[in-house]
Chain A
Amino acid sequence: MRKLARNKKGQFVILAVLLMAIMIISLGALMNRAVTYYKHEPWEEYLTLIGNIELSSSRLVELSLTNYTNAQTPDENILRNNLDQWQVNLTRIYPGRGVSLNFSDYPMTRDWNKTSSLSNATASFTIDIASIGLTGYKFTATAFLNLTILSQTDYELNVTVKVEDGKPLTNLGKDNFLVRNSSMGFTVMNVTGYYDQREALVYTIQCSQTITAPITVSVWDPRGIQVMAKYP
């Protein structure tokens, strides 16, 4: 017995087995984390549905403002009518999912013929999806365009164009602008943009004729939303 106790050869095997046991437990924990990480979450499928409804609803607000700002006689109810139809049509696009869209819209704004003019439409939405028990998912969609005439020279105008959150709108060309006064329209020769520390982006509109004030400048963004500003 004493001899067995003095035998040190077996200690290495015991140590090795202990180390193996620790490794197996560690690997088990690691694998468990891996399984949990890739665990299937049913609600993830509905994130795509919510994302689609959110983007499409925003597009609808933009679409309504485009119509409102381009019409000769603007329809004050166009946003509400479109939203009413969208509310009904959603159930046809996603049948059997229990999608319900509620909204509250605000009056559309055409605050034009000022040095700084704007067009704006806003609607708040709430989505319920009965099939997954989701209720009260809220979001707000806003379409906004602002045009500010900064200065005028004989042949040039300096303007800023901003969209939602005051972000400058880039990549505008001569097709996006229209310059006129009470008696005539001016041909826009060229539009160039330059960086300004205060405004971030300023467009210079070059016209072929001498610009006689007061002038009216219209701008259309790529969505088709129009704003008309007057200077001075």
Chain B
Amino acid sequence: MERMSRTKVNGNKGQMRIIEVILASFIIVFALSFANMFASAPTSSTYEGTELEKLGYNALHDLDDQGLLPRFIYNEEWENLTSALRVLLPLDVYFNATVYDLNGNVLNNAPMSYGDPAIFASFKNIASVTYGLVGYSTRFNSPYYEATYIPRVLTLQLVRGS
């Protein structure tokens, strides 16, 4: 009988520990959710525009660094430029690229875009990257080259699709 009573007391102590653990867990969860209210994730809409601009600029800079961007633009290889941008940008990023001369005339006769065109009209957070190019050198009478200064402006609009 005495042994039974002692076991019961020990059992009550265990239950108290369980309640303490549950309370402690609640405190931890509360602390985490409270702190998380002040943390701003990098993918939040606040930074979306800047992130997309960086993404777009890096893609164009990489292409320019490899000498591909001037080739695509000055040789009017619009399909190749679209394909290159599709490879370089993430799948969920939609884009619309346009090439202008210095007078603002559109030079690409074929659309260079990926994704639903309606999304650019409806979306509020559209990132825009402007990239300037100076010219291109071509082999006109092999092995001689000719380089011409003809500035071009590439505008790249970016939106993250759902």
Contact = CB atoms under 8 A, between A and B. Distances in A.
A28 B32 CA distance: 9
A28 B36 CA distance: 9
A224 B38 contact: no
A220 interface: yes
Given A38-B40, A89-B102, A224-B137, A27 B146 contact: no
A interface, how many residues as a size bin?
35 or more
Contacts of A127: none
B131 interface: yes
B31 A24 contact: yes
Interface string A95-117: 00000000000000000000000
Given A48-B129, A92-B102, A176-B143, A55 B36 contact: no
Interface in A176-232: 176, 178, 218, 220, 222-224, 226
B147 A224 contact: yes
Interface string B3-43: 00000000000001100100110011001101110111110
A31 B132 contact: no
B137 A66 contact: yes
Interface residues of B, number: 50
Interface string A28-61: 1011101100101000110010011101110110
A94 B50 CA distance: 17
B134 to A, nearest CB: 5
Interface stretch (B60-68, B79-87, B115-123): B60-68
Given A9-B16, A28-B35, A82 B149 contact: yes
A1 interface: no
Contact of A70 (B46, B129, B144, B153): B144
A31 B38 contact: yes
Interface stretch (A12-20, A130-138, A144-152, A155-163): A12-20
Contacts of B129: 48
Interface in B101-125: 102
A20 B143 contact: no
- Majority secondary structure, A binding face: helix
A70 B132 contact: no
Nearest to B104: A92
Contact of A67 (B16, B23, B102, B146): B146
Contacts of B57: 48, 51-52
A90 B132 CA distance: 8
Contacts of A31: 35-36, 38-39
Given A9-B16, A35-B39, A48-B129, A226 B27 contact: no
B35 A226 contact: no
Given A60-B135, A176-B143, A44 B50 contact: yes
Ranked 10 nearest A-B pairs via Cβ: A224-B145, A224-B137, A66-B147, A48-B57, A24-B31, A31-B35, A93-B132, A63-B147, A60-B134, A20-B27
Given A24-B35, A48-B61, A82-B149, 5 more contacts: A35-B38, A35-B39, A45-B50, A66-B145, A175-B142
